[in-house]
Each structure stands twice: as C-alpha cells, then as structure tokens.
Amino acid sequence: MDAAVAMRKEAAPASGLKQVFQNAQRAFDLIKKHRTPPDPKTYAIWYAYVEAADPRVIERVDSAIAEHGTLTPFDISSIFRELLTEEPAVVSARHSIGMAIEKEIDEVMKIIQQGVQNSDEFGASLDKANSALPGAASAEHLASLVSTLMEDNHRMARTARELNQGLTDSQNQIAKLNQELEEVQTQCRRDPLTSVANRRAFDERLEREIRAAAETGENLCLAMADIDHFKSVNDTYGHQVGDAVLQQFASVVTQNIKGQDMVARYGGEEFAIILPETDLFSAYNLLVKIKYTFKNTETPVEGTLKTIKDVTASFGLVRFEPGMTPRDMIERADHYLYEAKNSGRDRVKAKGF
C-alpha cells in the first residue's frame, strides 16, 4: 500500500484543534516524502487529502502519484484550481453578474408594483364614474365624465406601454447577464492553456454519458491519449514550445471530433476524448485520422523560423460495456494506451485492434 494512502487511513478520530494539528503534520510529512514544493497550494492539497473530506481530491492525488510518483506542477495547479478554489477573477465576475441580475430583478418588481398601482387607480376612476353616471344632471356633466374616463384610459395605456417596454428591457438584460454567467461557468471548466475541457468537466461529463449509455444502450467510447516523448520536447526546445505542442494537439482533436464529443486535458501531456453514440470501429478510425493529422502538423518554435515536425501521440481506446464505472473505463483505456506506448508509440490500441 502506498505510504500516502496508509498515512491517510491511519488518521485516528479526534476533534477540534488537535485534529487540525494532526492533519497539518501529516500534510507536511507527505510534502517531504513526495518532494513537492512547500508552498500554500501544495499544502492545501495535502491537507485536504489527509482530511479526506472530499473523495475527489483523494482520487486525483492517488491517480497522479500512481502515474508520476509525485504531484507534478500541472497536477498541483489543476487540483488546486478545480477542487479547492476558484480564480479570483472568476469569483469577482460571478459576484458582479449576480449583483447585476439582482438589480434587474428589483427593477422588474418595481415595474410590476407600478402596474398594479396604476390598475388600482384606473379601477377606482371607473368606480367613481360608475357612481356619478346615474346622477348626471346634464349633457355637459355626462360629457365631462366621459372626457375624464378617456383621459384616464389614455394615461393607463401610455403607462402600460412604458411598463411593458421596461419589462422587455429588463428581460433582455437578464438574458444577457445569464449568458455572461454561463460563459464564466464555462471558463471554470476549461484548461487555461489549451482551452479544452479540464479534468473537472471531464469527470462530470463521463459520469453523465455512462448513465445515459446504461439507460439507452447507445454506444459510448473513451480514448486516452498521450503525446510521445513530451519530456524530450520540453528539454530540447523549452516549456513554451512544449505548451505550443499541447495547444496544437488540442486543436487537431477539436477540429476532428463532432459537436457531441468532448476532448479534455486529463494530465500534463495526457488528454481524454469522450465519444458518445460512436461504435468502436468508427472511434478507432477517427483516432487514426487524428494521430496521422497531428504527426503531420508542424509546430513553430517561437522566436525562430524553425518548426517541430513528427511529434506523435499514442491512444488507448475502450468501449462502454454494461456495469462499467467511470474508473473502469479510464483504467481500461489507460491499459490500451500503455500497450500503444510499449508497442512503439504513434499507435491506437483497442480490444481487437
């Protein structure tokens, strides 16, 4: 059993300050053991890990350690951002939009109240005229009553038009603010470097697609992809070029999948591709096309006239079968990905292929 897992499971029941100190000590022990940076983000992750309040943190950390032997800078950044906090700009934007929506709702309530008041006033005017009509002593008196009613009616119609316009404007503004809020929420589920979905969005989507496939019997495939010799790219050309390669790969996948599909950045140079309503044969052919396209794509080396050629990727592909969980599909796809790597890389591996 991994020492980090054992340390978490050995946590003795305690309460209050004593438990906090125990968790803090275990967090520092894990920082030292795995040689992760002793900064606030890393400490927050390890503390959440030993506290064991959020199973998603435990799963992500265990998965990262199993794959890399430690938490990479990407793991630390993504776990902290996706599970432990939100970017200040996102929080600020969400607060501002919420305040604006609240203001518009207040305006709508005022318009409704004004409409009710005007309706009551016109009703009172009608009641007054109704009481006065039987006692109208002359044609002039009757004409005066009719003239007053017509003026009140015109005023009511004008006010109604103004209120309706106010309601329309507020409805449009609320719709616009809701759209902005959706965009902010989308940003929370995007990888900032590649602009594809992040791990949080992937986990949520895969769970939904598995439920749907289990209920409907529709096909569902999952691919795990990894850029070959990526460390060598970083070491040779630098991290900026490595980032450009990641962006290039994400772009190639995005341009080749359908609207219902999803590509997500799963780890440092690892990506996941969800393919709903796609059979294994079609999914395999799609990945072969993506693999070929990426290999033949040139990535510019910033600040020079050079380009990187022949960077390749390997793929592991699995089809959903009844009873499979998200973890089952990921582990099975990873299994075929390792087969592709061990077979020489630049390959797509799946059951029967």
Of 269, 270, 298, 302, catalytic: 269
Structure tokens that stand for 253 in this block: 């996948």
Whether 312 contacts 294, CB under 8 Å: yes
For 240, counting Cβ atoms within 10 Å of its Cβ (0-12 exposed, 13-18 middle, 19+ buried), the class is exposed
Q: How many angstroms separate the CA atoms of 352 and 280, rounded?
A: 10
Cα-based angle 142, 144, 148 (whole degrees, multiple of 5): 120
Q: How many angstroms separate the CA atoms of 26 and 160, rounded?
A: 67
Q: Residue written as tokens 């438990």?
A: 19
Whether 30 contacts 4, CB under 8 Å: yes
Q: How many angstroms separate the CA atoms of 125 and 39, rounded?
A: 73
CA nearest 298: which of 251, 352, 348?
Answer: 251
269 annotated active-site: yes
The runs of H, that is alpha helices, within 136-238 are: 139-188, 199-216, 230-237
Q: Residue written as tokens 């890389």?
A: 345
Whether 301 contacts 327, CB under 8 Å: no
Helix axes 88-132, 139-188, angle to 10 degrees: 170
Structure tokens that stand for 12 in this block: 């003795």
Report, in angstroms and rounded to the nearest whole number, the Rg of the chain calculated over CA atoms: 31
Q: How many angstroms separate the CA atoms of 343 and 337, rounded?
A: 10
What are the DSSP E strand ranges found in 246-304? 262-265, 270-276, 299-300
Q: How many angstroms separate the CA atoms of 61 and 42, rounded?
A: 11
Give the active site residues.
269
